[in-house]
Structure 1
């Protein structure tokens, strides 16, 4: 009797395994076709599989994704809307549908989808990053910044929120947070196509930070406690860049900043992973190479010459950079204006 009861269960397990294998096989075939540029064939494979496995989340994701790549936004959105109505719809489901709406320049619709997504997945930093993008596309930059900040609060080691905020603060005359977030970004995401862009922004924003004494003084007088402490420490060494902001003058200033920060109560009152990393690099004797890498865009030829003359320290920094993961603790978010 027990054997008879087990038989339907075993058969169900076999059917489920076969179904899963069929979906995976269709996905792999479709992605191979998509990578080779044959999007029509890729979509055809997925649609054929959907006949046997209707309302399958994996296949609907593929259908919406491939359709977006084909610029068939009507089909992409239709598949995406089916997807988010499934009981097992996940964060990626909302990302895929939101991306389809954004690609079709339907920013209000995308905004609604991402809003629903973050309500269902309030701890998804990636959803907040894309939600912010959509708000910005929809001419709501202040709301976008709030979404990106929320993304950092809930998961401070996701790089995209720093990327967008670095650019946002650069555009909205807030160089202190542009340099802080920009440098965190390039430590999390050191080797991507976005990294050179943010390194350029960092150098420009250091120029803005020390353009006049009033810039730092405004943070000191009107900033939140962390902002004021950082600006006050920078102000102690502003004379080091009085003859111009260069990689060399920033190396001197930033080195003194870290020494002063950790010799004061600030390090205990305001623990900050970025400053811990800079202190670590100083102790290892590779802060100069790191600093040159950060500000290489100032003069690429000069950086190459410097690197040629300092190959040992460059190699040590390169090994450290490739082997060391940069992860920001959750308790290190500081309110700011």
Structure 2
């Protein structure tokens, strides 16, 4: 079921502010009527929903939820002009939120007015600079123009502003892994995404993307060499002094690599791959397990928080890391995943029981975004 835009959907606290002059009984009546209308809308009964919403708007004229949901109903029926008219009036409402600007921009976009859509999103961002949804919409507009660098800037700003809003991770992962030579960022964004948005079609898509990116970026040219490429280049500044010898050059090289997250990531992954000859779920489980220790050592001076690595360490301490790795990447090699699951059914069941109750926690304190 679609979540209510409200003030209801955020926690209910603002609903009380909306109707300070109403009695608790009246407020409950408004909430019940709104929920009934949204349920009808979700079930495809938009006309019946509109009747309830109109009645609610008359009974509770200060409640922004009723006209917003009316606009959403009009949007669903593709009456974008009517929806936009309702939304424009809400821009000055005391309880306006970023969703009003988002839906208004979407209406303009469907009406073939991309400039007005962008203006709506930008107006919203001026008022709600940390909005995940508005950064998402601006990023999508840039993607439509094939301006992928600009799109990424918006998606990553959205991640930074609202780190639990999943769609910005989704698009950032897709662009980095499919449209760039800087897959390292897509690997992190993608794995955070599948943990925050479990069980969706998009989760399945990104699970496959992560697996196939490992397959394409870790290569074995021959029996004695390996190539790891998750970042197109790491800018390294090294001064060569003939008096210092090659040992000093090597030290500078290692020091330069250790100063950037991509450098540490690639270096740690390269060391983790040593000894493997192919990439599949089994070897990726081994590689990812070794990676945690190597990255912890190589990246000990980095200040970039990577919540997904901390989460993997927690899983390893509980004995669930292998099950998690098969879950995270399994859709890339479904038969191999099924064979492992059947052979490890008890471990899998225990992992899933724990996993349901202990998801990845991303906060403003531990959020991950690409350093600028």
User: 1:32 & 1:74 partners in 2: Cα distance?
Assistant: 24
1:215 aligns with 2:222: no
1:172 aligns with 2:179: yes
User: 2:154 & 2:160 partners in 1: Cα distance?
Assistant: 10
1:297 to 1:267, Cα distance in 2 relative to 1, 3 A = farther
1:335 to 1:48, Cα distance in 2 relative to 1, 3 A = closer
User: 1:86 & 1:317 partners in 2: Cα distance?
Assistant: 47
For the aligned residue pairs, the C-alpha RMSD in angstroms reads 2.8
Counterpart of 2:264 (choices 229, 238, 252) is 229
More helix by share: 1
Is the contact made by 1:175 and 1:206 (CA closer than 8 Å) also made in structure 2?
no
Is the contact made by 2:156 and 2:370 (CA closer than 8 Å) also made in structure 1?
no
User: 2:82 & 2:363 partners in 1: Cα distance?
Assistant: 41
Structure 2: give runs of 5+ residues left out of the alignment: 1-18, 222-226, 237-256
Mapping of 1:239-278 within 5 angstroms?
239-241=274-276, 243-266=277-300, 269-278=303-312
Is the contact made by 1:61 and 1:96 (CA closer than 8 Å) also made in structure 2?
no
Shift of 1:107: 3.0
1:311 to 1:266, Cα distance in 2 relative to 1, 3 A = same
Is the contact made by 2:215 and 2:279 (CA closer than 8 Å) also made in structure 1?
yes
Pairs aligned (count): 325
Structure 1: give runs of 5+ residues left out of the alignment: 1-11
Deviations 1:73-105 (A, max 9, x none): 111111111111323212222233233334445
Q: Which moved more, 1:138-147 or 1:306-315?
A: 138-147
Shift of 1:198: 0.7
Mapping of 1:51-130 within 5 angstroms?
51=58, 56-130=63-137
Aligned to 1:8: none
Shift of 1:139: 4.2
1:27 aligns with 2:34: yes
1:93 to 1:326, Cα distance in 2 relative to 1, 3 A = same
Normalising by structure 1, report the TM-score. 0.85
Deviations 1:154-179 (A, max 9, x none): 23333221111001112222221111
1:29 to 1:314, Cα distance in 2 relative to 1, 3 A = closer
Is the contact made by 2:184 and 2:231 (CA closer than 8 Å) also made in structure 1?
no
User: 1:94 & 1:206 partners in 2: Cα distance?
Assistant: 39
1:18 to 1:139, Cα distance in 2 relative to 1, 3 A = farther
Aligned to 1:7: none
Shift of 1:152: 1.6
Deviations 1:199-251 (A, max 9, x none): 0111121123224837257444468711111111112233445x332111111
SS in structure 2 of the partner of residue 237 of structure 1: helix
1:201 aligns with 2:209: yes
